[in-house]
Structure 1
Amino acid sequence: METKQKSLSSEIELTADGSHTLFVPSMNEHYHSVNGAKTEAEHIYINYGLKESSASPLHVLEIGFGTGLNAFLTLLETQKLHKKIIYTSLELYPLSLEKIRALNYPDVISPEFTDLYYDLHRAEWNAPCKITPDFSLLKVNIDFTCITYPDESAAWNLGTFGNEKIAYDVVYFDAFAPEKQPEMWNQKLFDAIYASMSHNGILTTYCAKGVIRRMLQSSGFTVERLPGPPGKREVLRAIKL
């Protein structure tokens, strides 16, 4: 599967915690919260998702690779948690290397691991890559709305890492907001994610809208509202029991 080389025009902005985000003028949308990109990612995806899973090795699915912030924070956690993580991320609009190098995440988060941040972005698309002994990455350049599971005839299916069949223990649902990309938030796609997850699998998302909560419940998840990061009252965590 070849990289589609699509891109979104974006501008770098500084958020309240000193970390960068990207603003997309055509969508009037930010990649992260302006109240703190790093703080938001740690709060929702690392603390409410990754750290709550006892699976080992741990399979993570991310909807929206974007700036690589979630992947970088997850990679750094492998050294604290002492467990292997197999990370799959889906992205239709990969960033240019020029844009990536302008982001300040390595300096703000962990300067000693700057090379690892760039290794995430330099990793080949659509092929499994070992970034460290404990962190393997598969970046898939694909339109998430075209995903099916477990249709073997599809170009790419949920529940695979290379040729390996897997079940995801943690899902970071980090697509653009429903009002900006409504096609990314629909029942069929949540059903596909649910089917691809392990028992006690955890999905976290910044979106706490009632319609999203009800769709997750319709897929079979048990859903809870949790306190959000600065600037956001609530977020959702969904568990496949």
Structure 2
Amino acid sequence: MTAGRANDQPFPSVIPVFPLAGVVLMTGNSLPLNVFEPRYVAMVRDAMAGARVIGMVQPRSGVDTARPGAAPPIYDVGGAGRIVDCKETEDGRFLIRLEGVGRFRIEHELAATTPYRQVQAVWQPFGLDPTEGEERPAVIDHEGIIKALHHYLDHKGLSADYDAIAGTPDKLLVNTLSMIVPFSPAEKQALLEAPDLPARAKLLVALLDIASHEDMPPSQIS
């Protein structure tokens, strides 16, 4: 198995994975993490000494079991991130920031001797270019996304700077909302696995619309 490449930088075919329910990492986006569990502290330390690549995956159960030695089944597709910021605290934690470099599919999990899990990653189905999906102009309903977000936030009693959001590039808008809106783990996984940006955008709007009608009396749903 050969390593993948991104921006002419080789990526390993074997990577450590960090299972977290409800957390996905999209290509080109950043993810801050406070790493405190000993096995994942070891993972960060080893990654910093190597390729600095960590795979973010979700447990299939939708529940992140943090007890030592726990190894819940994980989804086959994850988002890989390169550690671009790393600070070790006085109490032994790591404060890191991952920059999404691409999606990967798990070929199989290794019988690792490390305290953290490792997988054989296949990059080819998705590619590693941080501009994935942008080789040709993507048709994104930007206004539709803003409208769906507005309805969702109104339903939750929240607000946002819609002028600033309206000026956000399509890819950043779609991927950021896919990461930060508190959808279910299964819904976030579907967003991660969307074949391209337009498909992800359509699914995002659909999920926002569904969430906007939760707990509403039937008479108020139009």
TM above 0.5, yes or no, is: no
Q: Which has the bigger relative contact order, CA under 8 A and spacing at least 6?
A: 2
TM-score, length-scaled by structure 1: 0.27
TM-score, length-scaled by structure 2: 0.29
Give the structure with higher Rg (CA).
Answer: 2
